[in-house]
Amino acid sequence: MSLKYLHTMVRVKDLEKTMAFFNLLGLREIRRNDSEAGRFSLIFMAAEGDEDCPVELTYNWDGDDGLPSDSRHFGHLAYRTDDIYALCQHLMDNGVTINRPPRDGNMAFVRSPDNISIELLQKGEPLAKAEPWASMENTGHW
């Protein structure tokens, strides 16, 4: 029996804000399915070259009162980056809170507008410790 990873699905409350957040991470919409009968949209977003590993944003047109909650039933999404410091600075410059800064030059966590935990990992060896990251405290939780 063979098995192939397809995608990770997360429910979102504010589609525009969530898509903008994932755009900041470098993901782009690769396909969409709007269901008039089911009153929902499925938007698949992926980083360039990673189109076979998308995140599926499920948006219910009539709202979802359970979102955003702090439910972590799926854990987190993880993305590797060439420069964790540059990505975290880009996110901060665009209003994203760095919940767990990359103090070690290797790992950081942020949350999407829908409270989805996102792990960011440095490609290859950790970067040398640098300010302001090395002394930055955690904000909230991830």
6: domain CATH number? 3.10.180.10
The answer to the question of residue 67 being in a domain is: no
What residue has token string 């039933």? 73
Q: Are 137 and 79 within one domain? A: yes
- pLDDT per residue over 39-51, tens digit each? 999 999 999 999 9
Q: Are 55 and 81 within one domain? A: no
The answer to the question of residue 13 being in a domain is: yes
- pLDDT per residue over 61-72, tens digit each? 998 877 767 664
The answer to the question of residue 66 being in a domain is: no
| Number of domains comprising the chain | 2
The answer to the question of residue 48 being in a domain is: yes
119 is catalytic: yes
What is the span of the domain harbouring residue 130? Answer: 75-141
Q: Are 84 and 137 within one domain? A: yes
Check pLDDT > 60 for residue 78.
Answer: yes
Q: Are 79 and 136 within one domain? A: yes
Residue 16's φ and ψ, nearest 5 degrees, are: -60, -50
Q: Are 87 and 118 within one domain? A: yes
Instruction: Please give the residue that has the higher pLDDT: either 24 or 58.
Output: 24
Q: Are 84 and 122 within one domain? A: yes
pLDDT at 8: 87
Q: Are 93 and 50 within one domain? A: no
Q: Are 56 and 109 within one domain? A: no
Q: Are 45 and 18 within one domain? A: yes
- Cβ–Cβ < 8 Å for 115, 90: no
Q: What DSSP character marks residue 54? A: P
Q: Are 35 and 82 within one domain? A: no
Choosing from 29, 48, 51, 119, the catalytic residue is: 119
DSSP 50-109: -TTSPEEEEEETT--TT-S----TT--EEEEES-HHHHHHHHHHTT--EEE--TTSSEEE
Stretch 116-137: mean pLDDT, rounded? 94
Q: Are 40 and 2 within one domain? A: yes
